[in-house]
């Protein structure tokens, strides 16, 4: 297995802040009390290894994941770029503010660094943006963004009053889910708005693929590291894999030392072809 690099590369957000390109996802964590200490240890190790962007959401475990993250951040909060999300059912002006207050209590912090609309709902984007700006003015959040918006939704959001303040669009992206490469990823790259890739190893389902296994063997790496290196290969992407134990954290961290060759990428393209036309945005 490759030795981890000395520091985690960063990517600039539109507001000018740099965040690590490899962070920590938490979807599915905090839902089993028997795994609590193991999951807290995993998050804390990831932070200590420089994967200091931690992503969570009010939806995850009906708040139990935010509770877990809050416990993990004790003594480390000032090192972390904390991301959470508001459900579309709560995304009205007053609903967003109330949801943020609940998340802050669970996270045991006075602010969230990046607050995202989890996906599009019935509330007009402008109302949610108004709430985000109120939260910024109150010091409850520092920046805001979106998640699971397709190109048309993204254009509409950017056209809404204040919409150009968006810092990221968090979407599903991994070697087997490449639809965003046709339109959404180029559109956001042109605007210098990074993609935040969730499930970058497809929740483990692609890790037995023979091509990924063979590429991993060539690099003395693991298939998960190859999948992460693929997601990060061209810039403009922040990957947030979940790692629920310390071994998994170390494995993900070492992905930053895997440098895919032109042949590796050609092999991946053969098995997981890049899109040749627009596709509906995929979600998990």
The string of pLDDT tens digits covering residues 120-149 is 999 999 999 999 999 999 999 999 999 999
Mean pLDDT confidence for 188-203: 96
Residue 22, φ and ψ in degrees, nearest 5: -125, 115
Catalytic residue set: 60
Query: Tokens 């600039």 — which residue?
Result: 12
CA atoms within 13 A on the CB side of 135: 34
Question: Has domain 18-271 been given CATH number 3.20.20.100?
Answer: yes
In this predicted structure, what is the pLDDT of residue 1?
Answer: 40
pTM of the model: 0.96
pLDDT(6) > 80: no
* Phi, psi for residue 19 in degrees, rounded to 5: -130, 155
Residue 260 vs residues 36, 169, 256, 263: alpha-carbon distances, Å: 35, 25, 11, 8
> 4 pLDDT exceeds 60?
no
Task: Indicate the domain borders of the chain.
Answer: 18-271
Q: What is the pLDDT of residues 81-112, one digit of tens each?
A: 999 999 999 999 999 999 999 999 999 999 99
Residues pairing with 12 in the sheet: 18
């Amino acid at each position: 297995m490759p030795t981890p690099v000395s520091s985690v590369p960063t990517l600039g957000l539109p507001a000018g802040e740099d965040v690590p390109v490899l962070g920590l996802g938490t979807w599915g964590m905090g839902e089993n009390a028997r795994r609590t200490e193991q999951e807290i240890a995993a998050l804390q190790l990831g932070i200590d290894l420089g994967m200091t962007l931690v992503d969570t959401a009010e939806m995850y475990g009906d708040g139990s994941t935010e509770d877990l993250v809050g416990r993990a951040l004790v003594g480390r909060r000032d090192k972390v770029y904390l991301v959470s999300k508001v459900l579309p059912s709560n995304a009205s002006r007053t609903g967003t503010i109330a949801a943020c207050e609940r998340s802050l209590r669970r996270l045991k912090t006075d602010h969230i660094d990046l607050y995202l609309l989890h996906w599009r709902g019935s509330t007009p984007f402008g109302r949610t943006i108004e709430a985000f700006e109120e939260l910024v003015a109150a010091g409850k959040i520092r920046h805001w963004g979106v998640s699971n918006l397709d190109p048309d939704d993204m254009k509409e959001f950017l056209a809404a009053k204040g919409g150009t303040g968006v810092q990221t669009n968090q979407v599903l992206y991994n070697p087997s889910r490449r639809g965003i490469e046709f339109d959404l990823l180029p559109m956001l790259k042109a605007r210098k708005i990074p993609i935040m890739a969730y499930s970058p190893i497809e929740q483990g389902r692609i890790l037995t693929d023979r091509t990924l296994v063979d590429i991993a063997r060539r690099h003395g790496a693991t298939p998960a590291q190859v999948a992460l290196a693929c997601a990060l290969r061209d810039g403009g992407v922040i990957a947030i894999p979940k790692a629920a134990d310390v071994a998994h954290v170390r494995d993900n961290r070492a992905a930053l030392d895997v440098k895919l060759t032109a042949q590796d990428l050609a092999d991946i393209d053969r098995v997981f072809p890049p899109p040749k036309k627009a596709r509906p945005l995929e979600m998990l």
